Structure 1
Amino acid sequence: MTGSELTRAGAPASYGVTELAQLPRLGGLLAKGATGSVGKRPGGGVRLPEVAYQVADVDTAGEAAHLAAYLRLLGEPASEVLPAGFLHVLAFPLATAVMVRGDFPLPLLGMVHLRNTARVLRSVRLGETLAVRAWAQDARAHRRGVQVDLVAEVLVGGELAYRGVSTYLAKGFTASGGAAPADETSREEWTAPLPTARWRLGGGTGRAYAAVSGDQNPIHTSSLGAKAFGFPRTIAHGMYTAARALAEVGPARRGEKYEWAIEFFKPVLLPSTVDVAIRYADEVSTSSTNGGASTGERGFVYDGWRSGKNTRHFRGTVTPL
């Protein structure tokens, strides 16, 4: 596959393309991001690097053991189909490589994961060769700083199979342009529904997900690391809770093509018990699920909260396409 064929997908037309020979290792990137975060301070506007990273030939034939471990941990049935959460894991190092560039204006350390949206437009199977690309776009105001989208795409034979958008917040920074929109969600009244599942998450949950995702951020794996960032103990990865909710919906109900979205609220402290409710979208009023945005009648809505409390951890949707 040529570079020109890869550039026809979704990166902004003004962006240049940097081709890498292989997907980078996440551990080294996180160390580089920690070091590079020290010199990145609020001041002036935020200008993102206009570059997309891409790897043209990612062979998944050797991913069988990795995929099996991921599926077991998240509660997905054994399969040769790579679910959206696993595609996120594959592409995450490339997105991280963008965030640790010297000209990326926001610090990797302390970035808050706000939400994730992914679309699976074609099943991706073990053994297929993938093209993976990632870039940052749309730095914009948030009431607590600047939010930015990290976009990752996976193509098979030149066909877009997966597109994921992860939105992060850098506190204290200022975006050029208008003021932050009103945060209606923070004022939304919410009452926990009847749970359909209960997750008992042990203290090692963060380390277990780190082993299959490569994300060894110390807030998830180390009590001391978590306390250094203001948490009383380790917290679960947001993408662990998102992927486990996706598994609760299940491959039969979400279908081969689907959209998967999640918004994060309070972090899940470990150990913890989380109640989860999976419901048909047409059973849930639009005002209580999407802040007024219609979910439509198809698909599923899910919520997660601290068991026995009204502490909401996340909400999301899974919609067959």
Structure 2
Amino acid sequence: MGRTGAPASYGVSELARLPKLGGLFAKGVAGSVGKRPKDAVRLPEVTYRVVGVDTTAEAAHLAAYLRLVGEPSSDVLPAGFLHVLAFPLATAVMVRGDFPLPLLGLVHLRNVARVLRPVRLGETLEVRAWAQDARAHRRGVQVDLVAEVLVDGDLAYRGVSTYLAKGFTAPDGAASADESPREEWAPPLPTARWKLGGGTGRAYGAVSGDQNPIHTSKLGARAFGFPRAIAHGMYVAARALAEVGPARRGETYEWTVEFFKPVLLPGTVDVSIRNVADVDPTGSAGGSGPASGYVYDGWRSGKNTRHFGGTVRPV
């Protein structure tokens, strides 16, 4: 996943508590109006930090999340829930006045998360978030929003969410993204089929706080070119992580997802969970030694429309 911690040049801005997504989204909508492609993107060099985040009060929230995504009842916070906890802090970075990209219209491309130690209900957390690595994309510029969760000063979770802003320009000298042509993809044998109702976006919005209208409203989705509401990317990724399950992924793991085509709601998604060794027996996709972990894909049932794909590997 690369380095941990924000770049050394970044300053630290202390917040008293984790912000609420509702107010941040309203600020982001208002601030998006004046952010248009002009000069090359320069990211704010700041890390937001909140200490003393007590998870004791998260019991009902965690239980609702686990039920929705299909995780078994547990006092361990899975990577998807840690993303939900930290996402408002990353969003606070994105709605700053000096953040050059508009919140509205950002395209979620991928996520890479690592759980380096189990985080349990009742533990007190430190949460950090910042933006880094603005770089060229054939359709604009992409940027990473990084969130870290620490327990007793030790890094427990690190998540990197990559977004695309169409039409914007990367800073001079920024490395271009690796955009080699994708290989032809054919659906594997499915291991599960999800029937997602029209209210799926509203249900995940209720537990995640992400009430973006493209996920909760047909009219809101149409404003951005979708015929109806689309599922949250992190919801379908979390469902796939739950399909792998706690026993198979272990206590420490890396979880990746790449998004291809949105899942329209209501919709039916076929899912395949396979052992990495069956897909890549040489281990070349994950370093030296035998391949380990799981590969997953999701696609439109009966079609070759690939929605998402990723891996879950031990750390």
TM-score when normalising by structure 2: 0.95
RMSD (CA atoms)? 1.7
SS at match of 1:190: coil
Equivalent in the alignment of 1:38: 33
Equivalent in the alignment of 1:220: 215
Aligned length: 310
For residues 101-124 of structure 1, what are the alpha-carbon distances to aligned partners after superposition, in whole Å with 9 as ceiling and x for unaligned?
Answer: 000000000000000000000000
Q: Which amino acid aligns with 2:203?
A: A
CA distance in 1, matches of 2:39, 2:175: 15
Q: Does 1:129 align with 2:124?
A: yes
- Note if contact 1:286-1:293 (Cα within 8 Å) is conserved in structure 2: no
Cα displacement (A) at 1:282: 1.0
Equivalent in the alignment of 2:301: 307
Cα displacement (A) at 1:184: 2.5
- Note if contact 2:134-2:174 (Cα within 8 Å) is conserved in structure 1: no
Counting aligned pairs with the same residue, the percent is 79
Cα displacement (A) at 1:286: 8.4
TM-score when normalising by structure 1: 0.94
Cα displacement (A) at 1:182: 5.4
Question: Structure 2 vs 1, CA of residues 179 and 252 (structure 1 numbering), >3 Å: closer, same or farther?
Answer: closer
Q: Does 1:260 align with 2:260?
A: no
Question: Structure 2 vs 1, CA of residues 305 and 49 (structure 1 numbering), >3 Å: closer, same or farther?
Answer: same
- Note if contact 2:231-2:262 (Cα within 8 Å) is conserved in structure 1: yes
Q: Does 1:169 align with 2:164?
A: yes
Equivalent in the alignment of 1:62: 57
Q: Which amino acid aligns with 2:147?
A: A
CA distance in 2, matches of 1:112, 1:41: 15
CA distance in 2, matches of 1:47, 1:192: 40
Equivalent in the alignment of 1:192: 187
From 263, 266, 271, give the equivalent of 1:271.
Answer: 266
Cα displacement (A) at 1:97: 0.1
Q: Does 1:151 align with 2:146?
A: yes
- Note if contact 2:135-2:177 (Cα within 8 Å) is conserved in structure 1: no
From 171, 179, 186, give the equivalent of 1:183.
Answer: 179
SS at match of 1:89: helix
From 308, 311, 315, give the equivalent of 1:317.
Answer: 311
CA distance in 2, matches of 1:25, 1:54: 15
Give ranges in structure 2 of 5+ residues lacking alignment: none
Cα displacement (A) at 1:179: 7.3
Q: Which amino acid aligns with 2:141?
A: V
Question: Structure 2 vs 1, CA of residues 61 and 179 (structure 1 numbering), >3 Å: closer, same or farther?
Answer: closer
- Note if contact 1:301-1:315 (Cα within 8 Å) is conserved in structure 2: yes
Q: Does 1:92 align with 2:92?
A: no
Give ranges in structure 1 of 5+ residues lacking alignment: 1-8
Equivalent in the alignment of 1:209: 204
CA distance in 1, matches of 2:98, 2:137: 21
